Structure 1
Amino acid sequence: MSKMIKIFVAALIALALGTPTALADSHHGHGKESLVALGDSIPFGYNLGETNDRPAEVAFPYLIGDDADLRVRILGVPGWQTDDLLTALDSNKKFRKAVHHADYVTLNIGSNDFLEILRAANAESGGNSELFLTLIQQKLANSDAFDNLAASIHEIRSLTDAPIVLYTIYNPFQAADPLHQISDQYLPQINAAFAEIANSFHDVELADAYHAFGNNQAEYVLPQDIHPTAAGQEVLAEIGLEAFCFDFVEN
């Protein structure tokens, strides 16, 4: 199993990182209110467009915007981890201005932090499966991701009182992948920490991507990839709309 883990981790980390691309400006409709989507390649709709030069038309923030008649600005950057987002919110004028004027905010970040932990644990374990699991737990305990996430939400809150929806991390590995079971050991505790962070702020709701995807990766995750399919993006849109208390209209 350790050899398989090594192969999968190397391939999937490469897929997750991708290449940072241009950010998208307002899109879809001309509603009076606006949605700003922050995060990584997931709200970007990575690998669902003809190219990855701009967010995909089927990216979940656009689907939310279509249903709720919102102007949408996707500021998701492929490959970003929680520290990248925090830096942007602290010092990037474009991000700060967009968030300041937002009426709704979605936040989808942390998947790449988790994948980085898997990669680092694999590299240090030397193929020892038991050590691999121990290292994952140690690295999670020492990760700055949760502090970065809380600090990011604090920064968003300093810029706007708009409702925020924070997405949990879904299991990105297909059911037959040995990393699927491993991820299921750790993602519940990661997502429980996300819930605690959300509950510590005013008007931050959780969109539970982990349970929404469940073990349906064959339908919701692209094959040989870790990014959502179009159907997966629809699920993310649906739970986001529910968290915002909007009605979901199935297209």
Structure 2
Amino acid sequence: MIYTALGDSITFGENASSLAKAYPHLTVSILNSSSCKVRGLVLARPGWSSYDLLDAVIWRGDSIISRSAVVSVWIGGVDLANAALFSFKTKQPLAAKQFVANYRRNLSGILTRIKKGSRARVICCTQYNPFPNSPLAVEWVDGLNRTINELARSYDAAVAPAHAWFEGKQADLIYGYQNGKIEDALSGFLPIHPNDRGHRVIATKLAPYLILQK
């Protein structure tokens, strides 16, 4: 079975101690240690927004996705972080409708491309909140996850609730976690990626979604 993980810096393994410690590789290792035989592929880069991932899927993903039995999609953190930081720095309210519309269009394009190019089962991962102590971040992440759930249902995709796996445990699972507030990111370092423990939690929770039929 070929499993392809699509995403951004989280899926790429940013801030993991090695790529082998990133959740896509750990997930494959977990499955291969059981009765499954799985080959893992990753299409992800640090800094990718949903638009960047859509572009990569269109121009580079077809040959990978067409051979995949299951595909996970984890995208949106960069979209949200960029919008939130711009709003915070400029003191302008986040244009929530425009943000959601742009994200919805890009994620819909990604899912459409996967469905047209393969028979792979699709798993959409929700986004955990790296800034749980900022009410605006709570609101924005909740809105992002509602969009993910709505689109997943419309495309007959499963939803892996990564937000629930991290809820209340962010300080232990996020690399460089400080105060859990948007202001923590103003220094230029984004404390948003899983540490090795966080990647292990993701892999352990995600693995059953790859092998269980809906």
TM-score of the two chains, using structure 1 as the length reference:
0.72
Q: Which residue of 2 aligns with 1:43?
A: 11
Q: Which residue of 1 aligns with 2:35?
A: none
1:220 counterpart letter in structure 2: L
Once the two structures are superposed, residues 106-134 of structure 1 have per-residue CA deviations (whole angstroms, 9 ceiling, x without a partner) of: 11100000001112212321xxxxxx5xx
Unpaired segments ≥5 residues, structure 1: 1-32, 51-55, 126-131, 247-251
Which one of the candidate residues 21, 24, 31 is aligned to 1:68?
Answer: 31
CA distance in structure 1 between the aligned counterparts of 2:88 and 2:96, rounded to whole angstroms: 14
CA contact 1:44–1:78 (8 Å) conserved in 2: yes
1:198 counterpart letter in structure 2: A
CA contact 1:165–1:240 (8 Å) conserved in 2: no
CA distance in structure 2 between the aligned counterparts of 1:145 and 1:120, rounded to whole angstroms: 16
CA contact 2:21–2:199 (8 Å) conserved in 1: yes
How large is the RMSD of aligned CA atoms in angstroms? 1.6
Q: Which residue of 2 aligns with 1:148?
A: 106
CA distance in structure 1 between the aligned counterparts of 2:118 and 2:96, rounded to whole angstroms: 30
SS in 2 for 1:244: helix
Q: Which residue of 2 aligns with 1:29?
A: none
CA shift, 1:242, in A, is 3.0
CA distance in structure 1 between the aligned counterparts of 2:54 and 2:17, rounded to whole angstroms: 27
Which one of the candidate residues 44, 48, 57 is aligned to 2:20?
Answer: 57
The structure with the larger Rg is: 1
CA contact 1:117–1:140 (8 Å) conserved in 2: no
Q: Which residue of 2 aligns with 1:167?
A: 125
Q: Which residue of 2 aligns with 1:205?
A: 158
Q: Which residue of 2 aligns with 1:4?
A: none
Aligned sequence identity (%): 26
2:22 counterpart letter in structure 1: A
CA shift, 1:245, in A, is 4.4
**How many matched pairs?**
192
Once the two structures are superposed, residues 211-251 of structure 1 have per-residue CA deviations (whole angstroms, 9 ceiling, x without a partner) of: 110021111101242100111112211232232345xxxxx
Unpaired segments ≥5 residues, structure 2: 33-37, 178-190
Q: Which residue of 2 aligns with 1:220?
A: 173
Once the two structures are superposed, residues 55-106 of structure 1 have per-residue CA deviations (whole angstroms, 9 ceiling, x without a partner) of: x1111111211122211111111100000011112223xx210111111111
Once the two structures are superposed, residues 18-65 of structure 1 have per-residue CA deviations (whole angstroms, 9 ceiling, x without a partner) of: xxxxxxxxxxxxxxx111111101111111135xxxxx1111111211
Q: Which residue of 1 aligns with 2:186?
A: none
